Structure 1
Amino acid sequence: MPNYRRDFVQGGVYFFTIALQDRTKDFLVRYIDKLREAYQETLYHYPFETIAICILPEHLHLIMQLPEKDNNFSRRIQVLKTNFSKRLPKECQGNFNQSREKRGELGIWQRRFWEHRIKDDEDLSKHIDYIYYNPVKHGYVQNVKSWLYSSFHRDVEKGIFEKDWGSNIPIRIQNLYQE
């Protein structure tokens, strides 16, 4: 069995990419209200700060800051996935096999997720830019402000970003990670 090395830091800030098992599905935006309910339930039981989030049809990007004396981001991701999966209609639930059944999985999500611990303010800024520009990169919209499923709009209201941010994005953001 593979030994995945995770960088667990109490109170750490982490970037995540979490994807559906079937990347042709659009469950995350089609059932956005169910995802929001699942997210709120997860926050209630396992609090964290949402630094930035962007939900695309088949994957999402999230930057979370854990509570000061907590390093268990894996549990939060697991609970979010489970909470969302339980809310989906039965016909959305994926293919079962013995391995998934034994683990109690519904076959909706990829088993693992991409995680990166944010090292400093520059690293954080690059990842926030990447998250907010992602819908443009994937061709869902022509500009960042047009994508509804993002905390970008919250950050515009807070004065962190201009409403038209993202018109002239440097190449480094577009290629930060391969998805």
Structure 2
Amino acid sequence: FMDIIINNLKFYRNNQQLKIFSFVIMDNHIHLIASHKENLSKVIRNFKSFTAKELIAQLKKDSRSWILNLLKENKADYKTDSFYQFWQEGNHPKQIQNVEMFNQKVEYIHYNPVKRGLVSDAKDWIYSSARNYLGLDCVFQINKIL
């Protein structure tokens, strides 16, 4: 499932001009520091829509009906055009004001898997840009800040 998200991040970076400066992909959420020259909200909305369809298709293929049932229960009643709710509605963008804020957000993002007890060191979570920042191999190459 992580590969679906990674592959879509690569697509949006390579084909939709999405710049990603930091990320972590967890089992139940994702954090990004990202930018887009025109409309970041639209790009993120499209990313969420497309990945939801791919992830739900994979869940069906893998016969993960218990997860699909949870996604069905979480769907808002007014959403008549979909059967499941994979992502939380909307996104929660925060404009980064300065270098200190950027560094604090990167640290918060990278610390997520440690806080959850999944790893003891952020660099050990392969679905995170912590590895990029340390010059280690990573599943996704982030954009460099000049």
Q: TM-score range by the shorter chain?
A: 0.7 to 0.9
Aligned equivalent of 2:116: 138
Q: Percent identity between the aligned chains?
A: 25
Aligned equivalent of 1:111: 89
Aligned equivalent of 2:141: none
What's the CA shift for 1:105?
6.7
The yes-or-no answer on 1:78 pairing with 2:57 is: no
Q: List per-residue Cα deviations over 1:103-161 (Å, max 9, x = no partner).
A: x4731111122211000111101101111111111221111121111011112118xxx
Separation in 2 of the partners of 1:53 and 1:142?
18
Identify the structure with the greater helix proportion: 2
RMSD: 2.0
Q: Gaps spanning 5+ residues in structure 1: where?
A: 1-30, 159-179
The yes-or-no answer on 1:123 pairing with 2:67 is: no
Aligned ranges 1:17-96 → 2 under 5 Å:
31-67=1-37, 70=38, 72-88=39-55, 89=58, 90=60, 91=65, 93=68, 94-95=71-72
Q: Gaps spanning 5+ residues in structure 2: where?
A: 137-146
Give me the TM-score of the superposition, normalised by structure 2: 0.75
The yes-or-no answer on 1:99 pairing with 2:78 is: yes
Aligned ranges 1:156-171 → 2 under 5 Å:
156-157=134-135
Secondary structure of the structure 2 residue equivalent to 1:148: coil
Separation in 1 of the partners of 2:116 and 2:104?
18
Contact 1:41–1:83 (Cα < 8 Å) also in 2: no
Give me the TM-score of the superposition, normalised by structure 1: 0.62
Identify the structure with the greater strand proportion: 1
